[in-house]
Every structure is written in structure tokens, then in C-alpha cells.
Chain A
């Protein structure tokens, strides 16, 4: 895959230059970072970040996040429709969705805590327990599998010395398998926090991990 005749195709930088920052990868064409208060209400429900720096004790829905939550509410005809964006926001703030977060969301949206738990556990992207600084999701579905995704998973597990679904002892990495990440033309695709790493081969895994470690908990 080394002869791909382009650089910087998007998020990941398919050239193997994994030490590029997210800003460099996006290129200066990218129209800037989205503020924590969400900018215009039309896009306030999207999650700008999944940060390496996680604050499990942070205050929920206060300050700028409160502002964003209220913007989200204006975009739907029912209050309940804000449930998914609100859970996403809770995860963005704390790094995972704890039962306490769920109860708070239920209170804000006039839903029962049990209902919110039912919805939260239906979706895979809500981390029901704390994860490492870097949540490594390796796509092992059909196209990546044909390209050897299983070996990439093994390489990550070997490097981080952990088991699938568990967090490494230093709290840096959680490695899980992901279902198709819609980058089948660039296998193996690995999503680490909010960034896609494409065309990953097992021998690149240490390089990627070293780079992430050097960035620390941002």
C-alpha cells in the first residue's frame, strides 16, 4: 500500500506519517475548531472531540456545555429527541457515561432513569465504564479482515500488554474490536479516540503507540 500517490487524504494521513497532529492532517483548508458551546445550533449536537484527557469527575452540563445543551434542545420538536446528543455530550465531558450521568440526563429531559439506561446500553459508542486515554478501536470486519486486521489487533494487544476490552495498567490504552468503520478501501482502519488511522499494518503499531504516548493526556 506504500505507493498511494497522494498525501493527506483526510484525517489520518495515509502515508504512514502518524506523528502528524490532527491540525496538520486536516490541512489548513479545514475551517477551524468548533467551540465548546457548539457554535450554531444546527451542529451543536455533534461531538467535536473525544479527548485523550478524560475528567470522570467534571461537572456535567455547566457553563459552555450548558449553553450547548440548550441549543440542542431548540432543534427538535420533542425533548426526548435530545437524549442521544445529551448522552454524547456527557461522554465528551467525562470520557464515559456513568450511571450518575445517565440519571442527570434523565432528570434534564424528564425521562425515567431506567429508560435512559435502556437507550444508553443499546448503543455501542457510549462507554459504560471508564476507558484509557486512548481508546483503540480496530476494525476487524470483512474488508479489513481480508487485509489482516486480526494481526493488527494482536499487535496492539502485545504492545499494550492487555486483553481485548481491557485497559492497560498505565491507563493509556483500551483496545477493542470495532465493527466496520466505513474505511474499507484503506484497510486496516483503526479509530483512536476521534481520529482514523488508515492502512495500518502490524509493524506500524509500536510507532503509532509511541506517538500517542508522547502526546500524553493532552
Chain B
């Protein structure tokens, strides 16, 4: 009985993860599907061909690469910019903090289609050609708000006494920030970065308007879906997060080894 009580939370968490991954398991399963036609909607038979030729569809490989590059760069930039803003908002009382808060919230409330179209108007008025750079600009823009809100949740509960203690021991502000504060809020920054990455790699509407003739992975999928849903799309989606998970596992194992060696 006590075993059950102690593990209720574990069971619950597993259920939640199963729920999260239910459609993904379907996606993975269908990446092995062998449809004769161009649609991948019902199970026809098992095959490894899709995995053998994941980039068979012209344009798919390029689109994936563009999406990953943009997601990486935009989440990095947005995380830096957003963390700085969060620090300012939480740590300091200053004139204009209310306006800044508003400035952070409003982008999240704006429907993507008008945000995308208005941004395009800006680029047109300023004669900025649309392509990779305009997509990047747009992604950084909408990611900043999400980073601020996420990092702020971490900063608010942060124990300032640790910083005071460091300063009492002779560290100046900059050293304190980098050796005490930053490591402690890093989980928040990391979480914000992950969120920004996910938002960027899945964005469709804003990207569509500001992409010019560049194609990202979501643009490719939405476009293809009109006439076909090749299993290769499932393969790529599966592959991306399997790679990310393997990388993460490797990182944890590596950290464990390091910790054991240093101990």
C-alpha cells in the first residue's frame, strides 16, 4: 500500500508522458508505412525504405536544415535578449517597468496572421528582401516574450541572500553574477531556450509571410499536405527528436562521468 502511495506520482508522470507521446508514437509507426499512393493515412504495410531514403523528397533536406539553423540561432538570441529583460524587470524598480511589461505581453496576444502580415509590411517599406534573415528576425521577435515570462518565474523565487553572501566574501557584482546567479537560474534559462527552439521549429504563419522564397520544414509539410503526406516527413520528425534525445542522454552520461571523476 505504501509502495503505491509513494509511486502514485511516478505512475501519474508516466501516464502524462504517455499522453504526450501518443500521437508521436503514431507518427513514428507511420514512418515505417508503405503506402502505394501519395497519402500516408492508413496502414498498408511495413517497410524500411523511407528510413533508407529519408531525404528522397526534393527540398525536404534543405527545408529541415533551414529550420534547425533558424531555430538554433533565434532561440539563442532570444534567450540572451529575454534574460536581460527579465533581470531588469525583476531586480530593479524603474520608470517604464509597467510599459515594458506591456511590451512583453502584447506580442503573445497578437494573432499570428496579422503579426506576420504587418511585419511583412515593415520589410517592404524598408526594402528588406525576404528570406532567411527576415524569418530569423521574426522568430527572435516573437520568442523574446516567451523567454522573459519563463526566466522571470525563476528569478522571482531566487534567494538573494546567496548573492549577498558572495559579495560579503569579496566578489564584485559581475563575478557574483557569473559564478552565483547565472548557474542558479540556468535551469530557467535552459527551459526558456528549449521553449523558444520549439516555437521556432514549429512556426508556420509568421514564417509563411516573411519567408520570400525560402522554405522551412513546417512550410514544406503544410505545402506538401495538399497533395501528399510522404512518410519521409514522419521519418524526419522522428529523427530530429531521437537525435536530440540521444544527445541529451549522452550529455547526462558525460556529466555523470565527470562528476564521478572529480569526486
Binding between chains A and B: no
